[in-house]
Every structure is written in C-alpha cells, then in structure tokens.
Structure 1
Amino acid sequence: MNNKLVICGYGWLGRYLGEAMSATHSIIATTRSEEKAQQIHNKHLKGLVFSLGNDTTALCDELVGATLVLNIPPGRRNTQLDDFTNSMLALIDSAVAANVARIIFISTTSVYGDTRNDELNEHVSTQPETASAKAHVAIEQHLLDLKTNAKVDVKIVRLAGLTGPDRHPVNSLSGRSLNAGNKRINLVHIRDVVAALKTLILAASSKADSSNSETSKTDSTDLYHLCSLQHPKRGEYYTQAANKKGIPAPTFSESDLPPTGKVIDAKASWDLLGIVPDYANPDDMI
C-alpha cells in the first residue's frame, strides 16, 4: 500500500485527520510558519513550511505517488480571490506534474448558494453567491477537467458546517438577536468527516498498489456530500444547544414559521462510503 499522505493546509480539520491517519500513513503536513512546523514535528509527523503562492518544489518532492488532501480555505472575509484561485490552480497543476496519485479537495456546500429552498443531492447544479463559493466552484471544475483528461484521480468533498468537541456554531451565536429562525441547518461532525476522508485515503492507497482491476464503490463518483441526515430549524436547534451548554441562548425571529432553506442530502454519499454517520442527528453534536 502506498502510504504517503500530504495534508496541504494543516489547520483544525487537518490536525484531526493527521492524528487519525498517523498509524497507517507517513504524514507530511504544510503550515505557514516555522514554529507550527516544529510543533508538527513534535507530534512525530513531518511539517513543511508552505504558503499558497510560494515555490512548490519542496512540496512537489513529497507528492510523488502520494495522496494529497488539499485543504486551504480562502478566508471568509476575503472578497478578492482571483489570486487565491489562480494560486490554487497552479498548485494543482504542479501536483499533477509531480505524479501525485490522488487529490482530495475539501470543498464546501456553500457552492449551492444560500437562497435556495430545496433538497440538494450531489447531482444538483451549483449556484455560488459569495466570492469564496465562486472560487471553490472554479477549483472543483479545474480538478474535474483534469480527471476527464485522465491526468489525475480526483475526489471532491463538499462539507456542511463543521462542528466538533471543541467547535460548535452556537458559541458564536450566543446571546445574539438573529433572523430566520425557521431556516434549516446543515451541519457535519469532524469525526464523521475524518471517517469519510479515511475511507477515501485508504481506497486511494490500495488502488495505487493494486495489481488487479477491481473497482471499489468509491471509484463510482468524484463528488461527495458530508452532512448530517437531520435538518432542524435553527431557531429551535441553537436555543436548545445553548441551553445544554449553559450559555446565553440566541433569540430568533420567524422560528414559528414552517421550515425553509436548502437541505444538503448526503445519504447517497454516506452509502457509497459505507459509513453510517455517528452524528446523523445534530442534537448529538452538542
């Protein structure tokens, strides 16, 4: 089994993933500072200093035959993302030229926009509204074009809102007065995300060294949704979450109205991955 895993962008998600994969894979993790690279080394992983837009030579030396998890967010408040997008596309092209085995791109369900009022499966067209969402769509399309040209194996993973034992959106909503309490929520727990990524990484590693032509279920699609299977109204959910955490609850208008807003349908993706999410109900994420 080819067991080299390069996590490009070793932030909150990357750390959970690196810790989960360290028993089976040689982990190379990129960070923007020498101090953080040393902290990664202290975890018995290899830290590599790299910022998007930098020379890619040292990074590409690690990518030969590796699985690359591309997890560099553009920043929520950045509205001028041409440089970010172009640098990401250049990085991808460099990785392909270096003979990377597979690219797993961490994308977002925000590519569907925020004004839709329907159930969205993996086959629904994107309608990006923000600069970040538009950048993600452009990067996704570039990867899919490379896949079509048989230059690289690609998986795109669109994440709903991330939660975890040390991260929950109610913490930033506490005590606030907000609108649209009847809007449905789309959340996913970090442990379910790591389980999904682990499945894709292990499939990629096994495929790279396989001497037969067997095709796994994960080879049947390039695109995955990762989201909980239940979608309560946010006014009800975040009030309950705040009460459970013992922090001031937010107040919402329209909470008594019928539910509205998009629902990310991830059932097909979980089935393909062979995973029953441990946090299918957002109540269990609190």
Structure 2
Amino acid sequence: MTQSVTLCGCGWLGNYLLKALAGNYAVLGTTRHSNRAEQIKHNGASVLFFQLGDDPAQLCQQSENARVVLNIPPGRRNQDLTEYTRQMCALIDSFVAHEARQIIFISTTSVYGENERVVTEHSELIPLTASAKAHCAIENHLRRLANEKATVVRLAGLVGPDRHPAKSLSGKQLSQANKVVNLVHIDDVVAALKKVIDHGAPAQTLHLCSQAHPTRQDYYTWCAEKMGIPVPEFDGEDKQLKGKQIDASASWQYLGLTPRYASPFDMII
C-alpha cells in the first residue's frame, strides 16, 4: 500500500520536495494560488486549496495516517505573529486529532539568536525576532502535544540553483563583514527530509547547515566575482568572527548523510 505524505505549504522548498517524493508516495500538496495548483499537479501530486486560518477539517481528514510536512512560513513583512502562531498551533491540534502519522515542522536556525558561539542541536534558544519567537512557540506546542510523532527541522539560510543571497546583496553597502555564513543547499535539505519521511525521526530536533562557515565579506565578494555581478562593499570592522556558527554534524550523522554541498563555496556552479 502506497504511503501518504501531505505537504502543507508548497512554496519554493515544498515544490522541490514534492518532485523528490512523487512516484514513491501518494502526495497531497496545499496551496493558496491557482497557478501553483497546476504546477503541483504537473509534478505528480494531488492538490487542496488551503491557507492558514481556513477550516482544516478537510485537509486533516485527507491526512489521516499521513506524514505531514508543515511548511507555512510567517512572511517577512508581518511583525505581529500572534495570530500566525495561534493558527499554526490550532492546525497542529487538528492534525493530531485526525491521527496524522508524523508531523515534520520546518523551523529555522534563527531560534538560536546571534550570539558568538558554536551552536549544536542542544544549544540554548535565544530567539530575538518575531519570526524566531513564533517558531519557538510552535515547536514547543508540537512537542507538548505529540512529541513521539514530532520531528523539528531547523534550516539555515536556503540556497538553490534559482536562489542565492549574493544576488540581492550585489553592489550594496553592507555591515557585519566578519559575521559567519550559515547556509544550506536545497538538494541537501530535500535529501534530509526524504530520509526523515522514509524512515521517521520521532521526537527528534535536527538542524541543517553546510559544514563550512566563511565570513560574509569573503564569501559574498567571492560569489559576486564568480557570478560576474557588482561586488558588495563592507564597512571596516575588526577581524574577530561574529555571530553563531551552526554545527550540524550530529544531525547529518543521525540521518546517515554527507552533505553534497559541504561548503557554501560549493553552491556556486
């Protein structure tokens, strides 16, 4: 019998994951947009129109005994995330009540804050932004409600063949020259999520990041030169490294994976 996966949120990440799962699973993808619906169907999944705040009954009924990937980001412009947090927690309640087999919550490494330190999966959470605080609250709610069905996956900055921060930073005047870079390639994220879906990772908190951490100045200058776009200019700073450094080695080891893109320098083809 073909197992079921529900991708609750089929944006940029969800679409890559959908293509990797289709054919091996019966995939249900949600979207708010009709043009995305056609893309989801084309990639081999069934579609349900859903946006956060809708009645989740139909979605959750169709997700009974399914592995659910909960990937609905709050949006960058919204700074009051009280309602977002409430609605996400209510959606989790409904999935649990309808006996979803597993809930994989896509979170963020921003929950660790920005203090200068090496961060492991067990490091103290120091959420500073509204988004980080919301993700912490949702993670905690999921664990309290259904820890044995829960897998939390915290992602570093996402990079892919059609997405790289160097493009938006090109030619700009920037600060934090010596802040370290924490990035992960979409191919490695998809490989990790597929492992979690294939084998389960109950009551686990994983974080995904490449294994090398150059400074912003070194990396984005190199990227711009490699891409042939204007190089960003950085304000002068001392040479002390700044910010957190995500050590994801334990998560990669748990998953039995070696990142294909072990260094951010590998992410420019």
Same fold at TM > 0.5? yes
Please name the residue that 2:117 is paired with.
118
Please name the residue that 2:171 is paired with.
175
Deviation at 1:42?
2.9
Deviation at 1:256?
6.1
Q: Which amino acid aligns with 1:236?
A: D
SS at match of 1:284: helix
Please name the residue that 1:191 is paired with.
187
Please name the residue that 2:261 is paired with.
279
- Residues 241/255 of structure 1: CA separation in 2 closer, same or farther (3 Å cut): farther
Provide structure 1 residue ranges, at least 5 long, that are not aligned to the other structure: 205-217
Please name the residue that 1:98 is paired with.
98
Deviation at 1:161?
0.2
Match of 1:231 among 188, 200, 213: 213
Q: Which residues in structure 2 correspond to 1:43-58 (within 5 Å)?
A: 43-58=43-58
Please name the residue that 1:69 is paired with.
69
Q: Is the 8 A contact 2:48 2:59 kept in 1?
A: yes
Take 2:189 and 2:164, find their aligned partners in 1: how far apart are those partners? Answer: 15
Q: Which residues in structure 2 correspond to 1:259-270 (within 5 Å)?
A: 259-270=241-252
Q: Which residues in structure 2 correspond to 1:107-186 (within 5 Å)?
A: 107-114=107-114, 116-148=115-147, 153-186=149-182
SS at match of 1:170: helix
SS at match of 1:63: coil
Tell me which moved more, 243-252 or 32-41.
32-41
Take 2:66 and 2:188, find their aligned partners in 1: how far apart are those partners? Answer: 23
Take 2:110 and 2:215, find their aligned partners in 1: how far apart are those partners? Answer: 18
Deviation at 1:124?
0.8
Q: TM-score of the superposition, structure 1-length normalised? A: 0.91
Q: Is the 8 A contact 1:182 1:254 kept in 2?
A: no
SS at match of 1:122: coil
Take 1:20 and 1:256, find their aligned partners in 2: how far apart are those partners? Answer: 44
Take 1:35 and 1:179, find their aligned partners in 2: how far apart are those partners? Answer: 38
The count of residues paired between Structure 1 and Structure 2 equals: 268
Deviating 4+ runs (over 4 angstroms): none
SS at match of 1:278: coil
Residue 32 in 1 paired to residue 28 in 2?
A: no
Q: Is the 8 A contact 2:118 2:244 kept in 1?
A: yes
Take 1:276 and 1:17, find their aligned partners in 2: how far apart are those partners? Answer: 18
User: Could you tell me the percent identity over the aligned residues?
Assistant: 51
